[in-house]
Amino acid sequence: MRKLSFAAAILAAGVAFGSAHASTIILGGYPSSLMFINEQKGAVVQKIPLTTGLPSSIRLSDDKKKLYVVTNDHTGIEVVDLTTRKVINHFVLNDNKTSYRINTVTPDPTGKFVYTIMTKMDKEIDRWEIGKPKFYVVDLEEKKVVKSYDIDKQDEDAFRGYGRGRLEISTDGKYLYQFGAKVLVIDTSNFKVVDRIELEKPELPGLENVAFGGALDSISRPGEYVSIFNAPDPFTQKSVFGVAKFNLQTREYNFTPIGPSPEHMAGLQVSPNNKDAFTVVENGTLGNKRCEMWHFDLSNNAIKDKAEFPCRSRYYFGMSGDGKKLYVYGAGFEIQVYDADTLKLMTTWDLNNDTTMAGFALIND
């Protein structure tokens, strides 16, 4: 299998940021809204109320024209048209006898369905009967679950817990990819696993209650998925991290190792000029936890700089549209803004609204 250099993998993937345009950040807000944050002003400029409750996760469509939102109160799904910035569809999956807990979701290429992994809970006379995670197909027009499929026993552990197993789909809709303890390739005609690839997504700190996949570590264009993965070294059998690029249509991939895997790693952010990349790593736990930003030089496939920053119990890591600022945010009222060149704190934006751990979406105005 032909390998790409770290820089070549990034260049081949392309970057969705544009330095010539102002950008807007979209975050979930308590108790039931989406917040649109202007990066130049560092302030919330618009809020969209949600009908179905607290946003628990958000995801952009491939064409960046729609935003798919999962809400927590009754397992709701809402679709936002980003041109008009209005909710164009909303419904809940729970009823008086049945509840669902969504693990992860991806829309199909037509926008008619969403594919998801959920745990179903049925209300009995004296208890709730909790089922195993399954694949579900939700029809957005009919506003309900239309199909369900069992998960192979050997793959069940990969889907347990919130935020496990990001889903991506091929451009023709024939194959679903689950990125977790392994990469599973799933035939959408029958939801049978047709391939298992020995690459593992690094464990992301603070994402235990995120379900909709967040755009933290994807720098992909439609039909491709590029992110950080762990893999066993063939000689030492120890885990190393690197960048893998997946072609979601042909099922081919390239993995470029970079170095020994840290305990935790959160996201991969790449500058618009494709010369620099950034991630966050954690080592230790509780009082011994140490958090660092890592700056990669893509020209030399090397770590250019590191800087420690104050750890938060739960957080996200992101980048501005022009690549000049790095963000630490989530589960709070503030976004801490760091300079991408120096890795030093520049300022703190007070959003005057508590944010949910629903993820991060960035659009050009």
pLDDT score for 206: 41
Alpha helices by DSSP H, listed for the chain, are: 6-13
pLDDT score for 51: 97
* CB 333, CB 309: distance < 8 Å: no
Token pair, residue 78, equals 């809402």
Instruction: Tell me the sheet residues that pair with 81.
Output: 66, 86
Instruction: Tell me the sheet residues that pair with 206.
Output: none
Model confidence pLDDT, tens digit, residues 112-150: 999 999 999 999 999 999 999 899 999 999 999 999 999
Q: What percent of the chain is helix, strand and coil (3-state, nearest 5)?
A: 5, 50, 45
pLDDT score for 166: 77
Separation CA 270–CA 99 (nearest Å): 39
pLDDT score for 271: 83
Cα dihedral sign for 101, 107, 111, 114?
Answer: negative
Separation CA 267–CA 28 (nearest Å): 19
Sorted by where each starts, the structural domains of the chain and their CATH numbers stand as 6-364 (2.130.10.10)
pLDDT score for 301: 65
Name residue 64's amino acid: K
Q: Which residues of the chain have pLDDT under 50?
A: 1-20, 162-163, 205-219
Cα dihedral sign for 14, 15, 19, 23?
Answer: positive
CB atoms within 10 A of CB 357: 25
Residues with Cβ within 8 Å of 255's Cβ and at least 6 positions away in sequence, in order, are 3, 199, 229, 231, 242, 243, 244
* CB 331, CB 25: distance < 8 Å: no
